[in-house]
Amino acid sequence: MIRFAAAVAACLLFVAPAAAESACVPWEQTLVDIYLDYGELPTSIGVVQGGVLILTVNPETGTFTVFIQPNEDMVCFVGAGEHWSDASQAIIDNILDKAHKTPSSNVPEHQGTPRTPGGSML
């Protein structure tokens, strides 16, 4: 869940423009090809504005790919890279510590309020 949240935070602002500019291809064969070429499998999926965000990762090599699926048939390449890993507990603890020390914040003790992205195709 933490990995997906990080992917969404990093990509959300760029998803719609990237999907509009990149080639979209049939999703099923593309995910098979990503597995055959890089050993990546989907690890996280979530609804974002403009479709579904799909993150594929190879945990052994650290390669990853981010796609957006704007409809039932296609996926569009958003980005790819290396050195994927979970955020360290130290980073998480630092953020939580700062969030709870901010006087103006009204941070709940739970994980937050669910969001519903606008304009989703699903």
User: pLDDT tens for residues 16-49?
Assistant: 444 445 589 999 999 999 999 999 999 999 999 8
Please give the distance of CA 77 from its chain centroid, rounded to a whole number: 12
The pLDDT value given to residue 112:
58
Alpha helices in 12-87 (DSSP H): 15-21, 27-38
The pLDDT value given to residue 86:
87
- The residue ranges of every structural domain in the chain are 2-101
In whole angstroms, give the CA distance from residue 78 to residue 22. Answer: 7
At residue 118, the 3 state secondary structure works out as coil
The pLDDT value given to residue 75:
95
